[in-house]
């Protein structure tokens, strides 16, 4: 479910946050699904339980997951994405860096747009599968 790259410059707790969100987006995790406990997750990915706890706290802050005392941690049923200015600025900066890197690799705007279209198709396809399953 979640693979952590210990050699990455990205902190482990951020990798966990990103992977949980990615798993929700791709349909591996669905609203209401139970997540492993902090101890279980830390054991699976060989990370410190405090690191996993920090990731879960961040996911709860973003209302992606919710913890029900005594029952566990679940993917939120009513999560709605929202714009946050600091995240939007960070996203723009990351996209700029990607475009600059692509430029130096000889990748043009058309190819980048095709990459993005492919990614959106994958995401949209997963979203339609999730919505179709919910209607049954």
What's the whole-number mean pLDDT along residues 79-98?
A: 81
pLDDT digits (tens, 9 = 90+) for 22-76: 888 778 888 999 999 999 999 999 999 999 999 999 999 999 999 999 999 999 9
Residue 131 has pLDDT above 70, yes or no: no
pTM exceeds 0.85: no
Among 59, 88, 89, 85, smallest CA distance to 74 is for 59
Position 132 scores a pLDDT of: 46
Continuous H helices in the chain: 12-25, 38-45, 49-61, 85-105, 109-134
Angle at 51 between CA 20 and CA 66, to 5 degrees: 45
Position 126 scores a pLDDT of: 56
- Residue 9: strand, helix, or coil: coil
Give the number of other Cβ atoms within 10 Å of residue 57's Cβ. Answer: 15
Residue 16 has pLDDT above 80, yes or no: yes
């Amino acid at each position: 479910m979640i693979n952590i790259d210990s050699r990455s410059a990205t902190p482990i707790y951020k990798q966990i946050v990103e992977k949980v969100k990615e798993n929700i987006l791709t349909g591996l995790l669905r609203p209401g699904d139970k997540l492993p406990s902090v101890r279980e997750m830390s054991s699976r990915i060989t990370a410190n339980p405090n690191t996993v706890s920090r990731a879960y706290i961040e996911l709860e802050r973003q209302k992606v997951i919710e913890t029900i005392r005594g029952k566990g941690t679940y993917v939120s049923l009513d999560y709605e994405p929202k714009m946050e200015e600091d995240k939007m600025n960070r996203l723009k900066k990351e996209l700029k860096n990607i475009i600059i890197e692509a430029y130096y690799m000889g990748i043009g705007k058309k190819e980048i747009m095709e990459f993005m279209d492919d990614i959106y198709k994958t995401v949209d396809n997963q979203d339609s599968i999730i919505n179709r399953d919910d209607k049954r």
